[in-house]
Structure 1
C-alpha cells in the first residue's frame, strides 16, 4: 500500500499526462483489462478517463483495477483515474524506483 508522500509524488508526475484509455459504453471488458495490464507493465503510471456515455462509476472502475490487476488508483478526479503499478521489468521502472525511495 502506498503512503501519502508516495501518492503525492505520483499525482504530481501524472498531472500533465493525457488519459491513454477511455472507458465508454462497453464498460470494463476483459480486452480493456488486458490492455491496461500491458500498459501498466510498460508505463507504471497513467490516466484513464470515463466517457459521458458509460454507465461505469469511477470508484467501481478503481476497485476492478485494484482487484483484477493489482494496480493502485492514486487519484480520482471526476471521471479521470490515475492508475499506478510498479513494473516487474527493471527497464520500465521509471516511477517505482523513486516511489521506493520516498
Structure 2
C-alpha cells in the first residue's frame, strides 16, 4: 500500500470533491470483475471515487483496505458510502516523465 503524507492526502481530498464515482460496488461485494474495473479506472484517472451499496462501516473499511492492498493504491477518504482511492501512474512511481509531461513542460518554457 502506498503511504501518503497528510498534506498530500488533504490536497487529494480537495481534488476528489468535484469528481463523481466511477465504480459502484453492489451487494455482491468485491468480485474479480469489480477489481478489474477498479484497476482500469486507476490506470486512467489516478484518483477515483467508489460508491458502495448497503454495508456497515466496518465492512466498507475492510473493503477499502482490501482494494488498496490488492491494487497497490492508497486510501484518501472514507466518508459515508463513498471511498476515495489514489494510485499514481507507473511512470510517476519510477520517476520517468511521460510524453505528455514533456510536452507540457516544453509549452511552459516557450
Q: TM-score range by the shorter chain?
A: 0.7 to 0.9
Decide which of 69, 76, 79 is 1:77's aligned counterpart. Answer: 79
Which of the two has greater helix per residue? 2
- How far apart, in 1, do the equivalents of 2:48 and 2:4 lie? 16
- How far apart, in 1, do the equivalents of 2:79 and 2:18 lie? 14
* TM-score, structure 1 normalization: 0.81
Matches for 1:13-92 after TM superposition, within 5 Å: 13-52=15-54, 57-89=59-91, 90=98
- The gaps in structure 2 that reach 5 residues or longer are 92-97, 102-110
Give 1:24 deviation, angstroms.
Answer: 0.7
* TM-score, structure 2 normalization: 0.75
- The aligned residue for residue 99 of structure 1 is none
* Higher RCO (CA 8 Å, separation ≥ 6 residues): 1
**2:68–2:85 CA contact under 8 A, matched in 1:** no
RMSD in angstroms over aligned alpha carbons?
2.0
- The gaps in structure 1 that reach 5 residues or longer are 94-102
**Secondary structure, aligned partner of 2:41:** helix
User: How many residue pairs were aligned?
Assistant: 92
Query: What stretches of structure 1 move > 3 A for 4+ residues in a row?
Result: 89-93
Decide which of 1, 4, 7 is 2:6's aligned counterpart. Answer: 4
